[in-house]
């Protein structure tokens, strides 16, 4: 299975995927390309170190959003990937791309959807919201992408305890380490091994 990984920043989830392909925990999978909207994203350096092609396509380089969307989709299509992985990609995915890649785009979100998700909930804002509400458990969700925001079929979720002295930054780190870096590689592996079935907006994981 060939995948494209889309990133905007440091690329910690990308690194988790690279590492688990290397260790054999993700089967039958290669990263064909890493695409970033930010030419300074450290994720592109991670890709280079791993010998993976990295490209930057930024909305800033196009006069209109439609032009960017067209260029982005053309670039992605050129790699003939089976799966698109959004690993901290802070760009709205073009609707035509979602239609073309139905149940072939996955995203990681740092909360237990449907809590603290949707428009405006990204990055530290998710963890600020969780702490402000006083929840005792948070976590991460890996889901397919549809035309809503964080509304696609849920593949995997993992809970993480919230500690009394947490800050948004400490909580963000723990959610990454204890949930994101575990469930996103696992979701990719399940898809690569044809263990995922989507029916009526719900995911069923098939036993080996």
Which residues are designated catalytic? 109
Distance from C-alpha of 3 to C-alpha of 28, rounded to nearest angstrom = 11
Classify residue 106 as left (phi > 0), alpha (psi -120 to 50) or beta: beta
Residue with tokens 């970033």: 36
| Residue 94 contacts residue 115 (beta carbons within 8 Å) | no
Among 39, 71, 77, 34, CA closest to 54: 34
Among 79, 80, 104, 72, CA closest to 191: 104
């Amino acid at each position: 299975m060939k995948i494209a990984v889309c990133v905007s920043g440091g690329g910690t989830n990308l690194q988790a995927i690279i590492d688990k392909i290397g260790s054999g925990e993700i089967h039958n999978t290669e990263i064909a390309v890493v695409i970033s909207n930010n030419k300074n994203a450290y994720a592109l350096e991670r890709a280079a170190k791993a010998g993976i092609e990295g490209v930057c396509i930024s909305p800033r380089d196009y006069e209109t959003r439609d032009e960017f969307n067209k260029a982005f989709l053309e670039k992605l299509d050129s790699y003939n990937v089976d799966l698109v992985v959004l690993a901290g990609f802070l760009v709205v995915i073009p609707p035509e791309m979602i239609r073309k890649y139905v149940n072939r785009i996955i995203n990681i979100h740092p909360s237990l959807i449907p809590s603290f998700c949707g428009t405006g909930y990204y990055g530290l804002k998710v963890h600020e919201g969780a702490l402000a509400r006083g929840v005792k458990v948070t976590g991460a969700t890996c889901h397919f992408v549809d035309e809503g925001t964080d509304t696609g079929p849920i593949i995997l979720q993992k809970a993480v305890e919230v500690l009394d002295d947490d800050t948004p930054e400490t909580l963000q780190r723990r959610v990454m380490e204890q949930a994101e870096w575990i469930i996103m590689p696992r979701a990719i592996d399940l898809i690569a091994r044809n263990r995922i079935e989507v029916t009526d907006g719900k995911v069923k994981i098939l036993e080996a």
